[in-house]
């Protein structure tokens, strides 16, 4: 470990990693650049946004049976939101990056590859690419600006630093190609992981997150919409993208003052079964509904999606449809899927068959989200099913995501949320079909009755033949009625 004096304020600045070339003074925010035999101040670094992440400088954990400590962070903003890249120092002095985006975590290490890599401009989410003797699906392409830094970092960043990165996935394996320094990208190879798998220590607790985020914004749990003045309830530090429930204005709450991204129009209040701020008790922990949106498919069939958040468990979606309720979790371990034209997707050895392929558009949105959402946003959805479990691929021009959904009984939803649930259980699936069956049966009785009249006056046939004919005519509708 090397300790130097900050050229700006004189406070001690530590360099624990030999790979670190700069550090941000925690007292005055000066960016301290380490040279061969000296250090110099190259300007102030913006403070990072105190977001919902439980990770902080000093958090420790294990990856690949090696212990690590978080020693630095850069925070990046792109068109859909913000994410963190934490700089890790392992006990053996090697380094890596911990990506932290919307509660999903990846650990990657820089590697050397000799084969050809795709150009940044040619990468299309959802397409397969040969990378490092394997095939990966492009999951996302981003152009992002560095908006803040903290601790030690292995390269010089600051105002004006822009990152051009593309992410790829194959199962749990995760690859990033970083084009920030030129056409030939830097190759980072790694895996998806979770806080539990990393056995993280010294994480921020719920109160620390709320206190730091609330202090940063000057609001504890609400702000006034700068567009219409209506109060917007949200959890400070959880998200930075808000949609006003009253005027549909899109807001950026990543700074001390909320900024209007796009003005909305006065909208009729949409009544939802769960209101924003509803709290569920799941496995002994509080989970809060922070956002809600109504989406519709090509045939204008609507459903409601609720974004539910817990500090440790992260985000999941609770989906309300005419057929019942479903819980959907974004997957970090991706299924084996060849292309958008493939009819099969395999996950954990289970084959899912494609059932639907449709466009889904946002008709209404309100609350806080972990990405920027707006009415009119549209994605292509491909659904695959195996029994009661389904996989969904949502594809846009910039991103592909996978989620897994399982049904949730309405009684379970009511048990989770209690009195916060408004309304009753949806009609039993197939109720419409039963009504149609009943009408069809009545029509069959009427038609068969008309056809039976001539038999009653056909005295040339025997009574036995008449009875057999009547039995053959009237028994089938009776069977339909029993089955119905």
Each of the 484 residues of the chain gets a pLDDT tens digit; together they read 667 677 677 677 776 666 665 577 777 766 666 565 554 444 555 556 666 688 999 999 999 899 999 999 988 888 777 889 999 999 999 999 999 987 789 999 999 988 889 999 999 999 999 998 899 999 999 999 988 888 888 877 766 789 999 999 999 999 999 999 889 999 999 999 998 899 999 988 777 776 665 443 333 356 677 767 777 665 555 566 777 777 777 776 655 555 555 555 444 457 889 988 899 999 999 998 988 999 999 999 999 999 998 877 788 999 999 999 999 999 989 999 988 888 999 999 999 999 999 999 999 888 888 777 888 899 999 999 999 999 999 999 999 999 999 999 999 999 999 999 987 776 544 433 333 344 444 555 555 555 555 555 554 555 555 555 555 555 554 444 444 4
CA–CA distance from 25 to each of 36, 45, 348, 449 (Å)?
A: 19, 9, 46, 92
Residue carrying the six token digits 């993280």: 200
CB 240 within 8 A of CB 251: no
Neighbours of 427 (CB within 10 A): 11
Q: Are 236 and 221 in contact (CB under 8 A)?
A: yes
Give the other-Cβ count within 10 Å of 425's Cβ.
13
- Separation CA 269–CA 437 (nearest Å): 37
Residue 439 confidence (pLDDT):
46
Please give the Cα distance from 275 to 400 (Å, whole number): 29
Is residue 355 within 8 A of residue 344, CB to CB? The reply is: no
Looking at residue 207, what is its pLDDT? Answer: 73
Per-residue CA distances from 154 to 43, 97, 187, 279 (Å): 17, 10, 15, 42
In degrees and rounded to multiples of 5, residue 158 shows phi and psi of 175, -170
Quick check: 110 and 88 in contact, CB under 8 A?
A: no
Q: Which runs of E-coded beta strand occur in 194-301?
A: 222-224, 231-233, 241-243, 250-252, 259-262, 279-282, 285-296
Q: State the pLDDT at residue 349.
A: 95
- Beta bridge partners of residue 222, listed in sequence order: 233
Distance CA 107, CA 176 (A): 10
Cβ–Cβ < 8 Å for 474, 448: yes
Q: CA torsion sign, 333 to 298 to 141 to 73?
A: negative
Helices 463-483 and 431-456 cross at an angle (nearest 10°) of 170
pLDDT at residue 34, as a whole number: 58
Q: Token digits for 149? A: 């830094």
Long-range residue pairs from 204-207, CB within 8 A, at least 24 positions apart, any chain: 204/53, 204/54, 204/55, 204/56, 205/54, 205/311, 206/311
C-beta separation of 381 from 394 below 8 A? yes
How would you label 68-86 residue by residue, b for 16+ Cβ within 10 Å and e otherwise? bbbbbbbbbbbebbbbbbb
- For residues 398 and 337, what is the distance between their CA atoms, to the nearest angstrom? 18
| pLDDT score of 340 | 80
CA distance 254 to 46: 13
């Amino acid at each position: 470990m090397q300790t130097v004096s900050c050229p700006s304020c004189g406070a001690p600045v530590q360099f624990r990693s030999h790979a670190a070339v700069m550090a941000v003074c925690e007292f005055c925010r000066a960016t301290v650049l380490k040279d061969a035999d000296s250090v110099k101040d190259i300007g102030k670094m913006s403070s990072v946004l105190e977001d919902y992440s439980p990770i902080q400088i000093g958090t420790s954990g294990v990856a690949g049976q090696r212990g690590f400590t978080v020693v630095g962070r850069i925070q990046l903003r792109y068109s859909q939101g913000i994410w963190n890249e934490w700089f890790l120092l392992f006990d053996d002095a090697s380094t890596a990056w911990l990506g932290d985006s919307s509660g999903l975590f990846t650990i990657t290490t820089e590697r050397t590859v000799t084969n050809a890599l795709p150009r940044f401009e040619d990468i299309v989410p959802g397409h397969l690419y040969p990378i490092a003797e394997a095939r990966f699906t492009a999951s996302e392409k981003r152009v992002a600006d560095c908006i803040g830094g903290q601790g030690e970092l292995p390269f010089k960043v600051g105002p004006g630093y822009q990152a051009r990165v593309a992410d790829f996935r194959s199962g749990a394996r995760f690859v990033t190609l970083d084009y920030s320094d030129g056409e030939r990208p830097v190759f980072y190879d790694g895996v998806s992981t979770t806080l539990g798998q990393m056995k993280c220590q010294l994480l921020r607790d719920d109160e620390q997150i709320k206190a730091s985020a609330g202090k940063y914004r000057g609001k504890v749990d609400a702000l006034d919409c700068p567009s219409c003045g209506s109060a917007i309830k949200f959890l400070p530090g959880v998200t930075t993208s808000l949609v006003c429930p009253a005027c549909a204005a899109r807001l950026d709450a990543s700074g001390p003052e909320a900024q209007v991204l796009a003005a909305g129009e006065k909208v009729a209040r949409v009544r939802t079964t769960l209101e924003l701020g509803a709290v569920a008790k799941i496995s002994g922990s509080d989970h809060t509904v922070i956002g809600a949106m109504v989406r519709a498919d090509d045939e204008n069939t609507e459903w409601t999606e609720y974004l539910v958040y817990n500090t440790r468990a992260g985000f999941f979606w609770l989906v309300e449809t005419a057929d019942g309720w479903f819980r959907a979790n974004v997957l970090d371990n991706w299924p084996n899927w060849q292309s958008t034209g493939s009819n099969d997707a395999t996950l954990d050895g289970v084959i899912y068959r494609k059932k639907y392929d449709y466009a889904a558009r946002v008709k209404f949105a309100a609350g806080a989200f972990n990405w920027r959402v707006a009415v009119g946003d549209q994605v292509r959805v491909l659904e695959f099913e195996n029994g009661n479990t389904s996989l969904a691929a949502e594809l846009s021009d910039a991103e592909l995501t996978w989620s897994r959904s399982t049904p949730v009984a309405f009684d379970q939803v009511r048990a989770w949320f209690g009195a916060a649930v408004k309304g009753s259980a949806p009609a039993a699936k197939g109720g419409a079909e039963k009504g149609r069956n009943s009408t069809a049966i009545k029509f069959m009785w009427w038609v068969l009755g008309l056809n039976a009249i001539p038999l009653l006056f056909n005295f040339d046939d025997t009574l036995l033949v008449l009875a057999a004919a009547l039995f053959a005519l009237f028994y089938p509708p009776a069977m339909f009625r029993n089955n119905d």
